Copies of this chain bind each other. A is one copy, B any other.
Amino acid sequence: MSIFLELIPVSEAEEILRKIAPSMEEEAVPLQDAYDRVLSRSATAEEDIPGFTRTVVDGYAIRAADTIGAGEAMPAMLTITGRVGMGEGDAGHVAPGECRYVPTGAVIPDGADAAAMIEYAEESGNEVLVYRAVASGENLTLRGDDFQKNDLVFPAGRRLSSRDLGVMGALGITTVPVRRKPVIGIISTGNELISPDKTPGPGEIRDVNTYLCRGYAQTRGLIPRIYGIIPDERDPLEEAIRQAVAECDLVCISGGSSKGERDMCAAILADLGTVHAHGISLAPGKPTIIGTIDDVPVMGLPGHPASAYVVLVALCDVLIAAMTGSEVTRITVPARCASPIPSARGREDYIRVRLEGRDAYPLFGKSGLTNTLIESSGLLRIPDGREGYEKGAEVEVILW
């Protein structure tokens, strides 16, 4: 094979990833376990929520017309005919000149069309003085104000937030249809690698990528399955790949940063399945391999940890979104380039940047280093049509 890779644009790599992504089946989970899961069907309101008109203040259910012209000097005087308890379905009736006490959240009686706040009212015997005019509808939540029957509340593909769980509860959805969590097989290759619990001898370095990929899996709602450190030899690597493909929904092999290793990984993929891409116009991440074996996507990531993580964010995120029928969820923030950032046209660059206020400082660490992974706030993407950004340019930063 040539030492020069045949590079494809990032957009083409994304298209390949969307095409090879196996769709995760649906499963039902209890609402309490649905945090951060991806909805497999849309969720709609089965009835009006709330199901009745409620007061949002402590006070008196009244007819607004009875308070016209009321003020400090000339309060409206109403006769109190009862008190509504929380959760009481039958709140009774309010006739002209009458009112009923209602605690926050209680049903508004028939006939009443507003609530007067307790802070602007005074109860004395059977009478309530209301010191402010109240408008019709004031201080009420109307039936269906939150959601109306048949409202689409969540589209399929939504990744459920903590707040979504509460709203799911409001909808009465306690068993949630979600996509199965993809199982990601994680393989680290390299004869120089040792387990992090060992002390490196001469020429050895600790395996960073297994924990990095495992951490990535945890942030993305994947189930990591670890295959350990595999030496750069054909047989053990092929065996590890075969096993991972049989047990996982996608496989990430990191390492193989040298030409010989890359070629071996690509050759195994070609023998066992198909290589769709070997080399992407992406920096860092150029030597990335995309393949499939038995319809299982296999990605060959660069060996350098920072490069591997960029590829996970730039490309693997696209694959996982397609597998779960969701959108790539990135938090981006607007920022200003604190110094010029050059880039080569025809290549998509992901520059690690540190945000200080609105200023994005590029961290041009050597690619073998891991310190930029923890010193950076996120990635500044330079599309392939640009030659970089000038100092002061308005950009978007993808938060890690």
Cβ contact within 8 Å between B202 and A89? yes
Interface residues of A in 191-206 (CB under 8 A from B): 191-193, 196-206
Residue from A145, A165, A199 whose CB has the most chain B CB atoms within 10 Å: A165
A51 to chain B, nearest CB (A): 5
Cβ contact within 8 Å between A366 and B141? yes
Task: Report the Cα distance A373→B168, complex, angstroms.
Answer: 12
A190 at the interface (CB under 8 A from B): yes
A305 at the interface (CB under 8 A from B): yes
Quick one: closest B residue to A32, CB to CB? B214
Interface string of A45-64 (1 = CB under 8 A from B): 00101111010101000000
Interface residues of A in 72-128 (CB under 8 A from B): 85-91, 103-107, 118-119
Interface string of A215-233 (1 = CB under 8 A from B): 1101100000000000010
A234 to chain B, nearest CB (A): 15
Task: Report the Cα distance A308→B399, complex, angstroms.
Answer: 28
Cβ contact within 8 Å between A212 and B259? no
A398 at the interface (CB under 8 A from B): no
Task: Report the Cα distance A146→B206, complex, angstroms.
Answer: 13
Contacts of A91 in B (CB 8 A): 203
Task: Report the Cα distance A4→B120, complex, angstroms.
Answer: 11
Cβ contact within 8 Å between A258 and B103? yes
A31 at the interface (CB under 8 A from B): yes
Cβ contact within 8 Å between B104 and A202? no
A261 at the interface (CB under 8 A from B): yes
Quick one: closest B residue to A121, CB to CB? B3
Instruction: Tell me which of A11-19, A169-177, A265-273 binds B.
Output: A169-177
Task: Report the Cα distance A50→B89, complex, angstroms.
Answer: 71
Contacts of A89 in B (CB 8 A): 201-204
Task: Report the Cα distance A153→B372, complex, angstroms.
Answer: 12
Contacts of A333 in B (CB 8 A): 331, 333-334
Contacts of A373 in B (CB 8 A): 163, 166-167
Partner of A105, one of B50, B103, B257, B334: B257
Task: Report the Cα distance A4→B119, complex, angstroms.
Answer: 8
Quick one: closest B residue to A202, CB to CB? B89
Partner of A167, one of B105, B147, B208: B208
A368 at the interface (CB under 8 A from B): yes
Task: Report the Cα distance A264→B103, complex, angstroms.
Answer: 14
A209 at the interface (CB under 8 A from B): yes
Task: Report the Cα distance A89→B197, complex, angstroms.
Answer: 19
A42 at the interface (CB under 8 A from B): no
Cβ contact within 8 Å between B192 and A86? yes
Contacts of A206 in B (CB 8 A): 169-172
Cβ contact within 8 Å between A147 and B86? no
A285 at the interface (CB under 8 A from B): no
**What are 8 A-B contacts with C-beta separation under 8 Å?**
A87-B203, A91-B203, A103-B259, A105-B258, A145-B368, A166-B215, A169-B212, A170-B206
19 further interface pairs, Cβ-Cβ under 8 Å (given A87-B204, A162-B219): A32-B211, A35-B218, A51-B202, A56-B367, A86-B192, A86-B258, A89-B203, A104-B258, A104-B259, A104-B303, A105-B205, A107-B202, A146-B368, A161-B374, A163-B309, A165-B215, A168-B211, A172-B206, A174-B196
Nearest 9 CB-CB pairs, A to B? A162-B215, A89-B202, A166-B212, A103-B258, A87-B192, A89-B203, A87-B191, A165-B215, A169-B196
Chain A residues engaging chain B, CB cutoff 8 angstroms: 3-4, 31-32, 35-36, 47, 49-52, 54, 56, 58, 85-91, 103-107, 118-119, 141, 145-147, 153-154, 161-174, 190-193, 196-212, 214-216, 218-219, 232, 257-261, 303-305, 309, 331, 333-334, 358, 366-371, 373-374, 399-400
